[in-house]
């Protein structure tokens, strides 16, 4: 990775259908041979939800509902530097189709307890974040709600589970550190 390159914003979404999640095997890109969620680069002028809806249509041509923020992570892997914005969504309609055969071998529904290996780093982080929140009994608070999470380091990537709340189309993240108080806003 060249030092003058700037980190990119990568979006990923874990799509749930019953007890299964949609995963495809990557090819011809970083993380070749790993299993990953639909996702891609945030384009100039896009909101997070616009980006994910576009990527889902471009990659697997299905419709989703209940798109919700899951995690943020700093990932330096595969010779790339990305800031991951991870989401979770529920399947709404359509059967996954292979829309980009040059980038993916195919889409499959897997049980969350029986996932293929190896997982793409961003997808692994979204899954771990989802499991951690589920294990402690926390659900997305939704518009106007408040939820509390924890921070930890996973495979060299900092995964944020801070306090956060939604204000319209913006998620406000408050991360408390012994020495610092961080506040940032992300437009959804």
Q: Which domains does the chain have, with CATH numbers?
A: 8-144 (3.90.79.10)
Q: Could you please report the per-residue DSSP string of the chain?
A: --TTPPPEEEEEEEEEETTEEEEEEE-SSTTTT-EE-SEEEPPTT--HHHHHHHHHHHHH--EEEEEEEEEEEEEEETTEEEEEEEEEEEEEE-----S-TTTEEEEEEEETTS--SSBPHHHHHHHHHHHHHHHTT-----BT-EE----EEETTEEE---EEEEETTEEEEEEE-SS-EEEEEEE-
Could you report the per-residue pLDDT of 84-118, keeping only the tens digit for each?
999 999 999 999 999 999 999 999 999 999 999 99
Q: What is the pTM of this model?
A: 0.75
pLDDT at 109: 98
């Amino acid at each position: 990775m060249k030092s003058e390159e700037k980190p990119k914003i990568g979006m990923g979404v874990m799509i749930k259908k019953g007890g299964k999640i949609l995963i495809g095997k990557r090819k011809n890109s970083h993380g070749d041979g790993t299993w990953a969620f639909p996702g891609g680069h945030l384009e100039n002028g896009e909101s997070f939800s616009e980006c994910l809806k576009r990527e889902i249509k471009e990659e697997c041509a299905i419709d989703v509902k209940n798109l919700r923020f899951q995690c943020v992570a700093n990932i330096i892997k595969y010779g790339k530097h990305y800031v991951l914005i991870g989401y979770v969504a529920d399947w709404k309609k359509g059967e996954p189709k292979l829309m980009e055969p040059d980038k993916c071998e195919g889409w499959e529904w897997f049980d969350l307890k029986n996932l293929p290996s190896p997982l793409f780093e961003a997808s692994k982080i979204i899954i771990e974040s989802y499991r951690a929140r589920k294990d402690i009994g926390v659900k997305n608070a939704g518009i106007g709600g408040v939820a509390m999470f924890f921070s930890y380091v996973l495979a060299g990537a900092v995964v944020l589970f801070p306090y956060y709340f939604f204000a319209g189309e913006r998620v406000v993240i408050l991360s408390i550190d012994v020495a610092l108080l961080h506040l940032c806003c992300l437009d959804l």
